[in-house]
Amino acid sequence: MSQFKRTSLLLSVALLASGTAAAAPVEAKVTGGVVRGVLTNGVASYKGVPYAAPPVGPLRWKPPQPLTPWSGVRSANSFAPACSQPTGGEQRSSEDCLFLNIWTAAKSTRERRPVMVWIHGGSFTGGSTASSIFDGTRLAQEGVVLVSVAYRLGVFGFLAHPELRRESGSSSGAYGLQDLIASLQWVQQNITQFGGDPDRVTIFGESAGGMAVSFLAASPPAKGLFQRAISQSGGVFAPPRDTDGPALGGPLRTLQLAERTGETLVKALKAPDIATARSIPAERIHKTVSDNNLLFWAVLDGDVVPGANIELYRAGKFNDVDILIGMNSDEGSGDAPPGATSAMFAERARHLPCAEQGTAILSSYPHATDAQAIRAFKDLGRDAGYGWNSWIWAHLHSTHGKSNVFMYYFDVRTPESPEGAWHGAEVPYVFGTLNVGASRADTQVSELIRRYWIRFATNGNPTKPGLPEWPAFNDSASQAMVFDSSPSARRLPHVDRIRALNKWFECARLLSS
C-alpha cells in the first residue's frame, strides 16, 4: 500500500471512531509530508501545519517560498508561534510563522464539505490564530472544514523599499497578502485530505482580516482561489493614503509613501542595504519602528494590490464572487475626543473640504448638546470607518458584478455594551465561542449567525428553510440582516447618513485627484 493511501486510510478510520471523547492521533498527507493531529469528540484538529518555507534570513521580505519536505510524521497538536510582532501579543511570536490550522469532522477524505478560511485581525501589526475565540471546533461540528491562517505582520509583512522592488522585478511591500494567497493555494492542493471541497472555499475575516478579504477580492493573483468572501467590519474603499498624519485617505498606503517609510527605517537601522537589514535581529527592528513611530500597513504595490478598490470595482476589475459584508452598531466607541462638545463637533466639520457636502453630514448627526456631540463623534466614526466602506462595497459589487451580495448589521447589546456592539463583538458569535454562562438570547443569536455563515459558505446564499429570509442587497431597498434581540431583514440602519457620507467622499476624492 502506498504511503498516500495508507495515511488516507488512517484518517478515515480515525474519523469513523469519533464516538469517543478521548483525544486520539490522526494523520494526513499534505504538501511536505505527513502531519499528525488529534481527534476529540468527533473533530480532528491539526495545529501548526506549515504552508510555506520559514521567511527568515535571506527570505525575509521576500514572497513565500515552497516548503522543504520533512521525513517521518510531523506533530500538529499545538499552535505555532504568532507572526513576529512587538511584545505584548497574545502569545510568543517568531518570524518563522507561516502555519495554518485545520478543524474537520468529515468521516472520509471523499467528503466535500465547504471550507472556511479565517484571517485574523490586529491592525496588520498583531494578532494570532491561537486565540480561543477562533477555535474551529463548533463550525467543524456543524459541517464545514475550518482553516485559520497566520501571515506576516507589520514591518515584516508590509515593508516596501525601492531596493526590494528592483530585487523582485515587480512588487514591494505585499508579503503579508502574498502569504495569504500562498495559504489559499495550499488549501486548493491539500484540503481534500480533510474532507474539504476546493471548489467551495470561503475566505472570511474581521477588522484587518476583513480588510485583507477586501484586498483579495480584487487581487489578480488570488483569482480562482476562493468562491465566497465574508468581511466583518473590514472593507477598504477609501483613497490610498500618500502622507502620514491627519489627511484624506484610508488604511491602504501608496507605494510612494510606503517606500519613503521603508527608506526611513533602513536608514534608522544604519543598514547600508536590504541585505544588511535582513541580518538584523527582529527585536531591534521592532524597537526602531517604535522609536521612529513608523507604520507598516497594506501597500498599493501595483501587483497584489493593483489599484484602489473603488477604482478597480468601478472598472469591473475584481474577483466576482459571492460576498457577505457588514458592520457593528457601536464601532465608533472611543472616537469621541476627550472633552468633546457641541462646538467642537461643529468646528471640526467646518474644516472639512467640500463645504456643501460637509454641511449635509453635519446636519445628519444631532449635536445640539455636548451629550449629543459625543454620540455624534462615535456614530460618525462608525459610519465613516465601517459603514461607508461596507455600503460602497455592496453598492459597487451589486452594480458591476453578477454574484450575490448580502449585508448585515450586528446590534447585540449587553450589560457591558448598552449603547451597541463594539468592534469585534460579533466574532465569538460567529465561532460559537461565547463565554460560559452566556444568556440564552446570546446563544440563540450565535446559532442563527453560524447557520447563516455556513449556509453562505455552502451555496453562496445565507437563506435556507427555517431561517428568517435574508434578501440580497440592492440600492433601492438597501436591506440588511439586523442581528439584535429580534433578528430580521430591514433597511440598513443609518443608510441615509452613509449616502450623505458617500457624496462627501466622492467630492473629496475628486478634489484630491
> Catalytic positions, please?
207, 331, 423
In the Cβ-directed half-sphere of 307, how many Cα atoms lie within 13 Å?
A: 11
Taking residue 191's Cβ as centre, other Cβ atoms within 10 Å add up to: 24
Burial 133-149 (b: 16+ CB within 10 A, else e): ebbbbbbbbebbbbbbb
Which residue(s) pair with 491 in the sheet? 479
- Contact status, residue 304 vs residue 200, Cβ threshold 8 Å: no
Cell, residue 122 = 490586529
Cell, residue 429 = 458569535
Burial of 83 (0-12, 13-18, 19+ CB in 10 A): buried
DSSP symbols for 99-113: EEEEEE--SSTT--E
Q: Which helix (H) or strand (E) holds 328?
A: strand 322-328
Q: Helix or strand or coil: residue 45?
A: strand
DSSP symbols for 93-160: EES---EEEEEE--SSTT--EEEEEEE--STTT---TT-GGG--HHHHHTT-EEEEE----HHHHH--
Q: Does the CA dihedral 174-176-182-187 come out positive or negative?
A: negative
Give which of 42, 58, 50 is closest to 100, Cα–Cα: 50
Which residue(s) pair with 406 in the sheet? 324
